[in-house]
């Protein structure tokens, strides 16, 4: 075990968490992680298998006295969001995460930590490797591509699973039992653009960068009203475009549709004699934006740099530049509606998570979420209408169902009772705006009863992601006590 975990328990949880931080597991690249699980199971004589999507299942028999208890499914996902700070040199396809503990919180140096959902993997492996935890028969189910639309879970054949008690370990606040979640989908708007070869004599190439935002999970943290770097870049470009003759040369921002973007950049060609006007516009917008996001994104900044270029450069024509900027500003983003029956719960939202110029298109990628199917459909139609009016292509992928509250849940009753016994108080029972794979599995597993829980995490899906060490220990104790009670 790594020396930084020497004084922390549960020892096996941290042992396996450290081990998996050395294995690449970007969405779409979970084969190595699946190989690790299968080798782990083989070494311990456990039944294990995976499907063509690398969804991996490991089964363990009940401990003595629990042979007649109902089988329990413990579920999480293998993939992680891979984001890093721009000044960090790191290859998520081969480099091990650089772990550190600061004031009782585990984090990774300059990158996402992958506690979402590495903690579920670590808990599962610790259970499978234990000989002192009482439990019913276990089915460990680890899916793939959760972070890019739950495609692993959506395509998984669950006919071999026997469990009807479903524990999803993919929530991020201790003391909460999640019993419902939003459904969602990924939406693409692709605006076709030409690329004219423009002479640069009398013009200058400028890079405009919006950075320093907090970002975060586009479901869990959308209610924080944090700035979206792509939307702010769109505002900056619109202000510049209204003041000077401008052509977009390149544009990119964000990493994932389900991550609130922290940085966005554009290369633009402007007349050299307008450089001072250009600088003044940016400074005015910077002051406005800094004031508007003073409390949510205090470190936001907008900078620009003169970039050396050849005598000619490929750039987007002015009329198409206008439309591209219109889309950046007109496309909706953030919270569209709050729940009418659950206080402080976001009902419907969307996140413009990625913009990029590629293969003759400027691509705008959204994560959309709603706990009401008709609202999700209406939001999708709204995006499609805007796309149609601008001559853009529109596509929807990775749609996944929500998870409705179960009116009678013996599992929830038992989970509340165990929590009260351990901590002398009741947990918070809630729904969340983020998507969980529980919704997918409950559509497939007839009569299954589910809850979701997990330890305290902060700033998931960003390089500031961190995991509470003490909370992890308490949630492990809760999981062990819950299994014993079943």
Catalytic residues: 79, 146
Q: Which residues contact 43 (CB under 8 A, 6 or more apart)?
A: none
Q: Which two tokens stand for residue 96?
A: 């091990």
CA pair distance 143, 469, nearest whole angstrom: 25
Q: Is the CB of residue 120 less than 8 Å from the CB of residue 75?
A: yes
User: Which helix or strand (DSSP H or E) is residue 96 part of?
Assistant: none
Which residue reads 């400028």 in tokens? 206
Distance, CA of 309 to CA of 143 (rounded, Å): 46
Phi, psi values for residue 99, rounded to 5°: -80, 145
Residue 425's CB is within 10 A of a number of other CB atoms, namely 9
What's the CA gap between 270 and 278, in Å, rounded? 8
68 burial type by CB count under 10 A (0-12 exposed, 13-18 middle, 19+ buried): exposed
Sign of CA dihedral 146, 150, 156, 162: positive
Tokens 């559509």 — which residue? 443
Secondary structure element (H or E) that encloses residue 254, with its range: none
Q: Is 248 helix (H, G, I), strand (E, B) or coil?
A: strand
Contacts of residue 193, defined as CB under 8 A and 6 or more positions apart, other chains included, come to 316, 317, 320, 324, 357, 360, 361, 362
């Amino acid at each position: 075990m790594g020396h930084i975990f020497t004084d922390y328990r549960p020892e096996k949880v941290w042992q396996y968490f450290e081990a998996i931080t050395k294995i690449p597991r970007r969405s779409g690249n979970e084969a190595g992680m699946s190989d690790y699980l299968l080798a782990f199971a083989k070494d311990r004589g456990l039944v294990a298998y995976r499907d063509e999507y690398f969804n991996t299942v490991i089964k363990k028999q009940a401990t003595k006295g629990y042979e007649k208890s109902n089988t329990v499914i413990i579920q999480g996902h293998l993939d992680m969001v891979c984001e890093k700070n721009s000044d960090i040199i790191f290859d998520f396809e081969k480099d091990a995460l650089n772990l550190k503990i600061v004031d009782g919180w585990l984090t990774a140096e300059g990158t996402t930590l992958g506690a979402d959902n590495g903690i579920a993997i670590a808990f599962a492996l610790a259970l499978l490797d234990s000989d002192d935890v009482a439990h019913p028969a276990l089915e460990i189910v680890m899916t793939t591509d959760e972070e890019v639309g739950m495609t692993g879970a959506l395509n998984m054949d669950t006919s071999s699973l026997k469990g009807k008690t479903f524990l999803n370990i993919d929530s991020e606040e201790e003391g909460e039992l999640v019993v419902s979640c939003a459904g969602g989908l990924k939406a693409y708007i692709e605006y076709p653009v030409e690329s004219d070869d423009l002479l640069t004599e009398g013009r200058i190439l400028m890079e405009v960068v919006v950075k320093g935002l907090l970002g975060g999970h586009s479901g869990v943290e959308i209610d924080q009203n944090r700035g979206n770097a792509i939307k702010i870049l769109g505002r900056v470009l619109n202000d510049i475009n209204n003041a000077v003759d401008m052509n977009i040369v390149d544009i990119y921002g964000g990493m994932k549709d389900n991550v609130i973007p922290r940085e966005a950049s554009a290369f633009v060609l402007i007349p050299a004699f307008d450089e001072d006007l250009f600088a003044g516009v940016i400074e005015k917008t910077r002051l406005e934006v800094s004031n508007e996001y003073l409390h949510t994104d205090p470190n936001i900044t907008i900078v620009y740099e003169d970039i050396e270029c050849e005598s000619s450069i490929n750039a987007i024509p002015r009329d198409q530049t206008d439309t591209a900027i219109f889309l950046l500003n007109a496309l909706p983003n953030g919270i569209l509606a709050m729940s009418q029956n659950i206080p402080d719960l976001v009902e419907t939202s969307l996140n413009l998570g990625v913009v990029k110029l590629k293969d003759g298109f400027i691509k705008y990628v959204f994560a959309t979420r709603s706990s009401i199917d008709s609202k999700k459909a209406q939001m999708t139609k709204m995006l499609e209408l805007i796309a149609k009016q601008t001559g853009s292509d529109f596509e929807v992928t990775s749609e996944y169902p929500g998870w409705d509250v179960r009116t009678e849940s013996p599992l929830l009753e038992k989970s509340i009772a165990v929590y009260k016994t351990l901590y002398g108080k009741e947990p918070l029972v809630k729904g969340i705006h983020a998507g969980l794979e529980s919704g997918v599995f409950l559509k497939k597993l007839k009569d299954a009863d589910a809850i979701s829980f997990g330890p305290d995490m902060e700033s998931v899906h960003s390089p500031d992601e961190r995991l509470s060490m003490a909370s992890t220990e308490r949630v492990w104790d809760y999981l062990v006590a819950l299994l014993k009670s079943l």
